[in-house]
A = this chain, B = another copy of it.
Amino acid sequence: MQRTWTTDLAAHTGGTVLLKGWLHHFRRLSRVSFLLLRDGRGVVQVVVDSAESVATLAALHHEAVIEIEGDVVAVAQAPNGVEVRARIVRVLVAPPEEPPVDLSRRELQVQLPTLLDHAPVTLRHPRQRAAFRLADAAMAGFRASLRSRDFVEIQTPKIVAAATEGGANVFMVDYFGRPTYLAQSPQFYKQTMVGVFERVFEVGPVFRAEPHDTQRHVNEYVSLDAEFGFIDDHRTVMVLLRDVLADMLGTMAADGRGALAELAIDLPVVPASIPCVHFTEAQKLITAETGEDLSGEPDLAPAHESLLGAWAMRETGSDFLFVTGYPMVKRPFYTHPDPERPTFSNSFDLLFRGVELVTGGQRLHRYDDYLAALGHAGHDAAPFEGYLQAFRHGMPPHGGFAIGLERLLARVTGASNIREVTLFPRDLGRVTP
C-alpha cells in the first residue's frame, strides 16, 4: 500500500490508508487510546483499541518511528475533520530515550538556548518547522518571479580574495596557506554577471563577522540577490523589487497555507505602488514628530525607522515604505550618486513595519568612476582588479537589491529574535548544532 500524508487524509475518508511518521503523543485511556502521529507535513489523531497495539505504543518513547494501517473516518470535532482507526501498528525505530522537550505541547515554551541547543528535535515541532516551510516558499517565489522576467540564476564563489565592503567584519579562511575571506555578499560577482546575462539572481549564504549580539543579527544568513542592467536609475530597481516581493508573498500564501495556519498569521499586502520618501524628507518627518535636530546626521537610527514605519501605516495604510537618497558617506563605494545632488545616493532601503528589510540601488557603471570612488574611499585598486575588469570593458547602467531571508521570515512571523527563524544559527557564541 502507498503511504498517505496526514494532510491528505480527507480525500481518503471511508478508505484504508498507510501512515508513516513519528509518535508525537500517546494517551492511554481505559477503553480506547489516542495516538497523535506526526509526519513531514502534519499531525493526525489515531484511535487505537487493540490491547496488543496499545501495549506496544505505551512502551515506546516519544519520537519513535512507526507505521499505521487504518481506516479514515470523518469526525466533525477532529482537527482536520478526520481521524484514523488503527488496524495495524508497526514500530520501525524505538528510540533509546525521551526527547529533551515535549513536542506535543501547542507551543514549546522553552528558552531560546534550549530551543537552539536541541534544534534537531525542536525543529520537529509543528510551529517551529512552519517558519522553514515559509522559507522554502519564499525562495521558490523569489526564483519564479525573477525567472519569469528573464533573470538567470548564478552561484558565485564564497571564498574570495577581496572583501566586498572594504575589509571590515570579514571571516578569514586559511586557503592553502593564503589569507582569503568568506564573501559578505555576492555583490561583485552579481554585478560582473550583468555584463554576461544582463539579469541575474542568486540565493546563497553570506557571512558577516559583525561582533553584534542583538536580536536582529546572525553571522551567516541566506541572501536573496538580484542585479540587472539597462536601468534608468534606482527607481527601476524599486519597481522590480515591489513586483518580486508581491510574487514572493503570493507563493508563500499558496504553498505555505498550512504553515500560515499553524502560525496563525496573515501575510502583509504589498501595495501596487509602495510609498516612498527621500532621506531628507524622512528626517524632516522625524524632526516634526520628535523635535530632534537631525541636520548633518548621515543615517537613520532604528528608532527613526520605526517611527517612519508608523507614519507610513498611518498616512498610507502601507506596511512597506521606501526611503531613498541616503547620503553617499554611509553607502558602499560602488553606490551611484544622485546626479542632481551628488552628496546623496541613488540607493534605497525598504522598511517593513519600521524595520529595514531590503537594501538596494543603482551602482556605478563607468570604469573611471570606480577608480575615483575607490581612491575616495582610501582603497588600493589592486585587490579589486578582477572586479574592475567588468567596468573597463563596458557595463550598462545597472542596479539591484538583496533581501535577507531570515529577516523577512522574522518580520512576517513576528519572531522576536531572528535566531528563531534561522536554520541552525551562527552567532557570536554558537556554531553548533
**Chain A contacts to B: CB under 8 angstroms:** 3, 5, 20, 22-23, 39-41, 61-65, 92-93, 95-97, 99, 118-121, 123-124, 129, 132-133, 135-136, 139-140, 143, 147, 150, 152-162, 171-176, 178, 180, 182, 189, 192-193, 195-199, 203-205, 207, 209, 211, 219-220, 222, 229-230, 365-368, 385-387, 389-390, 392-397, 405, 423-426, 428, 431-433
For A3, A120, A405, the residue with the greatest tally of chain B CB atoms inside 10 Å of its CB is: A120
Given the interface contacts A394-B93, A396-B93, A432-B386, does A153 sit within 8 Å of B178 by beta carbon?
A: no
Whole-angstrom CA separation of A41 from B197 in the bound complex: 7
Q: Are B431 and A64 in contact (CB under 8 A)?
A: no
Chain B residues with CB below 8 A from A61, complex form: 393-394
List the 9 shortest-distance A-B pairs measured between CB atoms, nearest first.
Answer: A386-B433, A40-B198, A63-B394, A120-B390, A120-B389, A63-B393, A95-B394, A161-B431, A136-B153
Query: Residue of B at shortest CB range from A133?
Result: B152
Q: Which of B173, B222, B423 contacts A173 (CB 8 A)?
A: B173
Chain B residues with CB below 8 A from A196, complex form: 40, 123-124, 129, 132
In the assembled complex, the CB of A344 is this many whole angstroms from the nearest CB of chain B, namely 23
Query: Residue of B at shortest CB range from A191?
Result: B120
Given the interface contacts A161-B432, A431-B160, does A65 sit within 8 Å of B394 by beta carbon?
A: yes
Q: Are B93 and A395 in contact (CB under 8 A)?
A: yes
Q: Are A120 and B386 in contact (CB under 8 A)?
A: yes
Query: Residue of B at shortest CB range from A427?
Result: B176
Given the interface contacts A95-B367, A204-B204, A222-B155, does A176 sit within 8 Å of B423 by beta carbon?
A: no
For A41, A65, A219, the residue with the greatest tally of chain B CB atoms inside 10 Å of its CB is: A65
Q: Which of B178, B205, B405 contacts A431 (CB 8 A)?
A: B178
Q: A139-B155, A173-B182, A204-B204 are in contact. List 8 more A-B contacts (CB 8 A).
A: A41-B198, A120-B393, A132-B197, A135-B153, A136-B153, A157-B431, A172-B173, A203-B203
Q: Are B155 and A431 in contact (CB under 8 A)?
A: no
Q: Are A423 and B93 in contact (CB under 8 A)?
A: no
Q: Are B171 and A154 in contact (CB under 8 A)?
A: no
Chain B residues with CB below 8 A from A393, complex form: 61-63, 95, 97, 99, 120-121
Given the interface contacts A154-B132, A389-B433, does A3 sit within 8 Å of B180 by beta carbon?
A: no
Q: Which of B23, B96, B152, B174 contacts A172 (CB 8 A)?
A: B174
Query: Residue of B at shortest CB range from A431?
Result: B161
Q: Which of B157, B205, B431 contacts A424 (CB 8 A)?
A: B157
Given the interface contacts A161-B432, A172-B174, A205-B157, does A120 sit within 8 Å of B192 by beta carbon?
A: yes
Whole-angstrom CA separation of A332 from B95 in the bound complex: 23
Chain B residues with CB below 8 A from A397, complex form: 92
In the assembled complex, the CB of A381 is this many whole angstroms from the nearest CB of chain B, namely 14
In the assembled complex, the CB of A226 is this many whole angstroms from the nearest CB of chain B, namely 14
In the assembled complex, the CB of A383 is this many whole angstroms from the nearest CB of chain B, namely 9
Query: Residue of B at shortest CB range from A368?
Result: B96
Query: Residue of B at shortest CB range from A125?
Result: B196
Q: Are A392 and B96 in contact (CB under 8 A)?
A: yes
Whole-angstrom CA separation of A192 from B123 in the bound complex: 10
Query: Residue of B at shortest CB range from A387?
Result: B433
Chain B residues with CB below 8 A from A424, complex form: 156-157, 189
Query: Residue of B at shortest CB range from A94?
Result: B394
Q: Are A432 and B385 in contact (CB under 8 A)?
A: yes
Chain B residues with CB below 8 A from A176, complex form: 209, 211, 428
Given the interface contacts A95-B367, A133-B152, A386-B432, does A394 sit within 8 Å of B22 by beta carbon?
A: yes
Q: Are A159 and B95 in contact (CB under 8 A)?
A: no
Whole-angstrom CA separation of A203 from B65 in the bound complex: 28
Whole-angstrom CA separation of A140 from B123 in the bound complex: 27
Whole-angstrom CA separation of A157 from B182 in the bound complex: 13
Q: Are B220 and A158 in contact (CB under 8 A)?
A: yes
Given the interface contacts A195-B120, A196-B123, A396-B65, does A205 sit within 8 Å of B150 by beta carbon?
A: no
In the assembled complex, the CB of A75 is this many whole angstroms from the nearest CB of chain B, namely 25
